[in-house]
Amino acid sequence: MQNTASKTAFPPSFVWGVATSAYQIEGAAAEDGRGPSIWDTFTHTEGKIIDRSTGDIACDHYHRYAEDVDLIAALNVNAYRFSVAWPRVQPRGAGAWNEKGFDFYSRLLDKLQEKNIPAHLTLYHWDLPQALQDNGGWLNRDTTRRFADYAAEVARRFGARVATITTHNEPWCTSVLGHGTGQFAPGMADPAAAIQVSHHLLLSHGLALQAMRAINTPAKLGIVLNQWTATPATASAADKAKAELEYAKSVQWYMDPIFKGRYPELALENIDRTAFFASENDFIDIQQPLDFLGVNYYTRAFVSAETPPKQPEGALGFSDMGWEIYPQGLTDLLLGLHREYKLPPIYITENGIAVADKINNGRVDDQLRTDYVRMHLAALADAMAQGVDVRGYFYWSLMDNFEWNSGYEKRFGLLYVDYATQQRTTKDSALWYRDFIAGQTQARDAGSSAGIALK
Ligand code: IFM
Give me the residue spans of the domains in the chain.
Answer: 15-427
Q: Is the pTM of this model over 0.85?
A: yes
Q: Is cis: bond before 218, omega within 30 of 0? A: no
List, as own/partner pairs, every contact residues 415-419 make where C-beta atoms lie below 8 angstroms and the sequence separation is at least 24, other chains included.
Answer: 415/71, 416/357, 416/359, 416/364, 417/59, 418/359, 419/57, 419/59
Give how far Cα 132 sits from Cα of 95, 102, 129, 206, 271, Å: 11, 20, 6, 19, 26
DSSP at 405: G
E-assigned strands of 243-319? 292-296, 301-303
User: What's the confidence (pLDDT) of residue 447?
Assistant: 75
List, as own/partner pairs, every contact residues 412-416 make where C-beta atoms lie below 8 angstroms and the sequence separation is at least 24, other chains included.
Answer: 412/352, 412/353, 412/354, 414/18, 414/75, 414/369, 415/71, 416/357, 416/359, 416/364
Residue 6 pLDDT class (50, 70, 90 cuts): very low
| Catalytically annotated residues | 170, 350
CATH among 3.20.20.80, 3.40.50.300, 3.90.1150.10, 2.60.40.420 for 15-427: 3.20.20.80
Tell which atom from ligand 1 comes closest to the C-alpha of 296. 6
Ligand 1 pocket test target in 403, 414, 417 with most atoms within 8 Å of CB: 403
**Displacement of CA 300 from its chain's centroid (Å):** 16
Separation of alpha carbons 195 and 180, rounded Å: 8
Count the Cβ atoms, other than its own, within 10 Å of residue 106: 14
400 lines ligand 1 (CB under 6 A): no
Indicate if the pLDDT at residue 8 is higher than 80. Answer: no
Over residues 431-437, mean pLDDT: 97
Indicate if the pLDDT at residue 4 is higher than 80. Answer: no
Q: How many Å lie between the centroid of ligand 1 and the Cα of residue 406? A: 11
Indicate if the pLDDT at residue 453 is higher than 90. Answer: no
Over the stretch 192-206, which tens digit does the pLDDT of each residue have?
Answer: 999 999 999 999 999
Q: How many Å lie between the centroid of ligand 1 and the Cα of residue 100? A: 27
Over the stretch 224-283, which tens digit does the pLDDT of each residue have?
Answer: 999 999 999 999 999 999 999 999 999 999 999 999 999 999 999 999 888 899 999 999
CB 426 within 8 A of CB 365: no
Separation of alpha carbons 132 and 113, rounded Å: 33
351 lines ligand 1 (CB under 6 A): no
Indicate if the pLDDT at residue 449 is higher than 70. Answer: no
Q: How many Å lie between the centroid of ligand 1 and the Cα of residue 280? A: 33
User: What's the confidence (pLDDT) of residue 159?
Assistant: 99
CB 185 within 8 A of CB 126: yes
Q: Classify 32 in phi/psi space as left (phi over 0), alpha (psi -120 to 50) or beta.
A: left
**Displacement of CA 376 from its chain's centroid (Å):** 16
Over the stretch 286-310, which tens digit does the pLDDT of each residue have?
Answer: 999 999 999 999 999 999 999 999 9
Q: Which are the contacts of 140, defined by CB distance < 8 A and separation ≥ 6?
A: 132, 200
Give how far Cα 447 sits from Cα of 12, 24, 440, Å: 8, 39, 11
Count the Cβ atoms, other than its own, within 10 Å of residue 345: 15
Q: How many Å lie between the centroid of ligand 1 and the Cα of residue 403? A: 7
Over residues 336-352, mean pLDDT: 98
User: What's the confidence (pLDDT) of residue 451?
Assistant: 54
Proportion of the chain above pLDDT 90, given as a percent: 94
Tell which atom from ligand 1 comes closest to the C-alpha of 21. 4
User: Exposed, middle or buried, 281 (CB in 10 Å: 0-12/13-18/19+)?
Assistant: exposed
| Range in 146-155, 234-243, 419-428, 444-453 with the lowest mean pLDDT | 444-453
Over the stretch 370-406, which tens digit does the pLDDT of each residue have?
Answer: 999 999 999 999 999 999 999 999 999 999 999 999 9
357 lines ligand 1 (CB under 6 A): no
Calculate the average pLDDT of the chain: 96
170 lines ligand 1 (CB under 6 A): yes
Tell which atom from ligand 1 comes closest to the C-alpha of 412. 9
User: What's the confidence (pLDDT) of residue 274?
Assistant: 83
User: What's the confidence (pLDDT) of residue 450?
Assistant: 55
Q: How many Å lie between the centroid of ligand 1 and the Cα of residue 57? A: 18
**Displacement of CA 278 from its chain's centroid (Å):** 26
Indicate if the pLDDT at residue 97 is higher than 50. Answer: yes
Indicate if the pLDDT at residue 16 is higher than 90. Answer: yes
